[in-house]
Every structure is written in C-alpha cells, then in structure tokens.
A and B are shown apart, each in its own frame.
Chain A
Amino acid sequence: MAVLRKPSPLRVAGKYGALAFYVAFALFPLYWLLKIALTPDQLIYSEGTKLWPGAATLENFRIVLFQSDFLAYFRNSVFVSLTTAAATTLIAAGAGYAFSRFHFRGKRALVAVMLVTQMFPLLMIIAPIYKIVAAIGLLNSLTSLIIVYTAFNIPFATFLMQSFFDGIPKDLEEAAMMDGCTRFQALRKVIVPLTLPGLGATLGFVFTAAWSELLFALMLINSNDTMTFPVGLLTFVSKFSVDWGQMMAAGVLALVPSCLFFVFIQRYLVQGLTSGAVKG
C-alpha cells in the first residue's frame, strides 16, 4: 500500500484537503441549523446569511421547549421509537436465532420474502394500512404506529441479529446443553450475555429508523395530542413558515436522540448496513 512508498508532500496535502472537504460537507448543514437556532430573531433578516452570528441567544429554545407543544411531540416520539425498538429487537432476536442455528424446510423462501419486503415500495401499502387502522379504530393512536413500525423493521433487524448470532460459536451452547442445560437455559445463560452488544446495536438501529419515519405517521396521525415529532415539526413549518429560529431550534431537538444513539451504534455501522444490505 501507499504506506510502503514515501508519499510526496503534494499528495499528503491533497489527502488532507479532501478530508477537510468531506468533514465540511458533512457538518456544514448541521452547523447552519444550530447557528440560525441561536441567532436572535431581530438579527435573522439583517445577517441571516453571515457565517457567524453577531449575537447568540437561547430564547428560541426556551420558546420551543416551554411555550409550544414540541415537548409533547418529543415525548410521543420517544415513546413510539423506544417501544418499537424494544419490540422489534425482541422479535428479531428470536427470528435471527432461528435463522442462525437451524436448518429447516422453507428457510430460503422465508429469507427471500423478508428481503423482498425491504425492496417493494412501502408506500404501496399506505392506503390499505390506513383503511385497516381506521376500521379497527386505531387512527390517531400511537399503538398503530408502533405495530406498523415494528413490522417494517423486523426483516432488517432479523438479518442484523442473525449476523450477531453467527458470530457466536455453536459449540458454546452445545457444551452447555451437554452439561445438562435445556436449550432455553443455554440461550439465557450463555448466548444472551454474549449477544448483549448486538441487542443494543439492533435497538439503536431500529430506534433511529422509527424516530425519523414521517409519511406513515402523517397518514395515520392528525390529532395534536398524538403527533410524533416529525409530524409536529412539519405542521409547525407549514403554519409558521417565518419563525426560522424556532423551527431550527425544534430541528436541533430532533437531532439530539439520533446523535446519542449514533454515538452508541457507531461501532456497529458496518455490520448494520451490510447485513440488512438495504437499510437507509
């Protein structure tokens, strides 16, 4: 590799220049979001496009947190995302375990169906889902969102969990079973402790996916009490389209949980993105 050859200073400069470009490209939009959120209202029009704000204020955050419904939307979204993540991880752990440890008739077909569910246009089922949810009286309820999101994320989470189970040698549980454990005991005492990081990563991936889902939430929720954060923010944007500072402060809030989970699942990104292979 290039390590063996002595690189010319020009190439080194080019490399760091390219890296700087990527970092700037990745961070600039987020910087801008934060900058406008911190700019006082009266300065936005006079220096809206300056790179550095002349003054900073937390006023926008105060209004968003205490004088709007965003805190309620935030709570709704946290509830939906956490419940979805927990349910999906539990169900996907079972399915991933079956895929990893058993050979059975119909396995290939099942894997194929799960892969296909990741590729057909999900919007195709938005109308039927709306009708079904309306028929069972669950419109405007967070329960319907949780059920729908859980189902959407199961295939991807199953493949991810399977990859984690595949990484644990089969011998371990066989040894435990030979020592007199039932399979379930072996699972609980040997496999689960070893899979904890995998369970955590799956939880994180599903949480971020559920946190950012917009279109089904728009369709199924229109009462202010049960709006999730994306729906609430979009409604706010269409109603108060010039309260730039407050919109962006709310945007920064939406970013917080995603960033927290990102720090947490960062180590597993490669596994997560390649095992599902199709997950955005």
Chain B
Amino acid sequence: MTLRAQHAPLPGKKGRAEGTFYWRYVMEPWLYLSPAIILIGLVMLVPLAIGISYSFQSIELLRPMNTGWVGFENYGDLVEDRKFWKSLRNTLWWTFGSVGFQFALGLGLALLLNTQFYGKRLIQPLVFLPWAVPTFLSALTWAWLFNPVIGPLPHWLAALGVLSEPYNILGDPDLAMWGPIAANVWYGVPFFAITLLAALQSIPGELYEAAEIDGATGWQCFTKITLPFLAPMIAITVMLRTIWIANFADLIFVMTGGGPANSTQILSSYIFTTAFRKLDFGYASTIAVALLFFLLIFAAILLAIRRKLVRI
C-alpha cells in the first residue's frame, strides 16, 4: 500500500511533474505506434482511397489515351458483365464449399487431438504441417496431383467410378472448382483444428466429470457441453475465415487461372486477372469495390444475427 501511495502523482505539485505526466500518458504511446500508423496509412489506407477513386475512372495501361473520369460507367459495365455474375456465383460456391469442408474436418481433428493417444507429440506437428506450406506450392502440388500424367488422383477417381476415365478435372468446366477447393481444404484444415483445439482446451474438465457422474453418454457430453462452449469461437472463426477465403485468389489463379471457360473464376481472381493480364485498373477496382460491398453485407447480416441470438 505504501508503495502505491508513493507512486501516485501528488496533488498540488505542478510544473515539471505535470509535463512528464502529459508526456507519459498522452504522447508516449503514439511514439511507439507512429511507425506502424505511418506505414499502414501510406501503404494500405491511401491506396484504398485511390483504389475506390479508380473505379470511377478509365485507367487502362494498354490504352493510355483512354484515361479520365467516367462517372458510373464502370459500374454500368459491371451490371451487364455476365462474367461478373458468374464469378459472384462461383465465389459463393468456392467460399462455402471450402469453409464447410475445412470446418468439418478441422473440428474432427481438434476433437481427436484433444484426447490422449500414443505418439501425440509427433503426430500433432505432422497434421498441422500443410498450414506452413507456401500457398503457391500447395496450388502447384495439387494441380500436379490432379494431372493424369504424374498424379495419382485421376486414376484413383476413375477406379472408384467417380470419373469415366482418368482425365484432369481441372480442365472440365463442371468439375474444375473441386480442384482448388480440395487444395484449400488441405491447406485450411490445420487452421480450424488449431483454433478449435485452443477453445476445446479452455473447457473446464470438471464439467465432463460432473456429467460423467450423472450418467451422461459421450454424445450427450458433446452436444450439451462441448458444442455450447465452442459456439462463440466457432462463430467468430467461421465468419472471419469466410471473409478471408472469399478474398483468397492465389490457389485459383495458380491452379486454373479462372478457367476453363471462367468456370472457376471468383471475384478476387477476376480482380487480379483484370489488373494483371489486361492492365485495366479502372475496371479491376470496380470489381473490387463490388466485392467489398458484398463482404460488408455479409458482415452486417452476421452481426445482426449475433445481436438477435445474444438478446435471446
């Protein structure tokens, strides 16, 4: 107690003491934060504002004469662009397909890793390893696995009767999306497993012991204790992951480039190919603003649902 009394600023003592007080509690944090703020501002926020302004301009590096403000012309083109609407549908398929499988497999893995078994110290890092594989390499590896010349998957799928003959599903407009989704599931399961495992380990063990004494079955323990405890973590992880995956273009760009016939083009890969291959920055920014708009709607719906659930 005496120590704390000494440490508190003495009333009535002004001048230099107040100067250091001001310095310590008002200015000092900004000093530590300034490099981060400056970099984020210059490299992310300013370009973000410029990017939004691009969507109202015509900026095509391949046609430099054709530059200037065009109002909502890009947005008009967007509404009539069939490729855009197709990419939007594909984005939904890609995102919810990936998140669904990642979550189901990740939850299974987390539940397994939360039990005791032989060799856990070795197995745990092994199953988490795909998380550390660089995304471009995951994409290439899975593209190669689907290639009938050097990959086993087409032959296995044909043997199982899924495919009529061993061909590359990445070249089949009806099936191509499953290629990047498979790669994404492989890459994303560890993420869900790790975050859900952390949540599982925070559930107090006494709850299970009490349930055990009351004669609860394993399934009852899972639905009445585990799931309710996990629910908040599941909700936030799934929501953030959904947004992240909707923005995630690397796998699709490397594996299919959006093809064949745009059957795997999602909004984010469409943004990238428009900017990178066509160098049409105005239109790429317009698609990006549209994607941002859909993500905001998605987040707003989720927040509304959450508010409703919390009230009940």
Chain A residues at the B interface, C-beta cutoff of 8 Å: 1-5, 15-16, 18-19, 22-23, 25-27, 29-30, 32-33, 36, 44-45, 48-49, 51, 91-92, 94-95, 97-98, 101-102, 104, 107, 110, 113-114, 117, 119-132, 147-148, 150-152, 154-155, 158, 174, 178, 183, 208, 211-212, 214-215, 218-219, 230, 233-234, 237, 244, 247-248, 251, 254-255, 258-259, 261-263, 266, 269-270, 273-274, 277-278, 280
Contacts and interface: CB of A to CB of B under 8 A. Distances in A.
B150 A49 contact: yes
| B contact face: mostly helix, strand, loop, or mixed | helix
Interface in B192-212: 194-195, 197-198, 205, 208-209, 212
Given A18-B108, A22-B112, A102-B29, A30 B208 contact: no
Interface stretch (B71-79, B122-130, B173-181, B302-310): B122-130
A113 B116 CA distance: 41
Contact of B194 (A18, A123, A254, A269): A269
A213 B132 CA distance: 13
A97 B152 CA distance: 50
Interface in B2-39: 3, 6-7, 24-26, 28-30, 32-33, 35-37, 39
Nearest to B187: A280
Interface in B257-278: 268, 271-272, 275-276
Given A1-B205, A23-B123, A97-B32, 5 more contacts: A26-B186, A48-B150, A49-B151, A211-B134, A274-B194
B157 interface: no
Contacts of B194: 269-270, 273-274
Contact of B125 (A237, A251, A263): A263
- Chain A interface helix/strand/loop/mixed: helix
Contacts of B107: none
A140 B272 CA distance: 18
B54 interface: yes
Contacts of B105: 22
A89 to B, nearest CB: 12
Interface residues of B, number: 101
Nearest to A241: B147
Interface of B: 3, 6-7, 24-26, 28-30, 32-33, 35-37, 39-40, 42-48, 50-51, 54, 59, 105, 108-109, 112, 115-117, 123, 125-138, 140-142, 144-145, 148-152, 155, 186-191, 194-195, 197-198, 205, 208-209, 212, 218, 221, 236-237, 240, 243-244, 247-250, 253-254, 268, 271-272, 275-276, 281, 284-285, 288-289, 291-292, 295, 299
13 contacts: A15-B112, A15-B117, A26-B128, A26-B189, A29-B130, A36-B150, A51-B152, A92-B36, A119-B299, A129-B47, A147-B43, A258-B132, A270-B198
B35 A124 contact: no
A223 to B, nearest CB: 16
Given A36-B150, A123-B272, A219-B276, A259 B141 contact: no
Contacts of A117: 40, 44-45
A26 B130 contact: yes
B134 A230 contact: yes
Contact of B54 (A26, A127, A158): A127
* 3 nearest A-B residue pairs (beta carbon): A212-B134, A151-B43, A262-B132
A15 B113 CA distance: 10
Given A110-B33, A215-B250, A124 B272 contact: no
A208 B191 CA distance: 15
A132 B42 CA distance: 10
A106 B276 CA distance: 38
Contacts of B281: 127-128, 130-131
Nearest to B27: A104
Contacts of B299: 119
A18 B33 contact: no
Contact of A127 (B149, B155, B221, B275): B275
A150 B134 contact: no
B198 to A, nearest CB: 4
B126 A26 contact: yes
Given A129-B43, A151-B44, A251-B140, A95 B36 contact: yes
Nearest to A253: B137
Q: Which of B59, B108, B248, B275 has the most chain A CB atoms inside 10 A of its CB?
A: B275
Most chain A beta-carbon neighbours within 10 Å: one of B35, B44, B197: B44
Contacts of A259: 129, 132
A233 B140 contact: yes
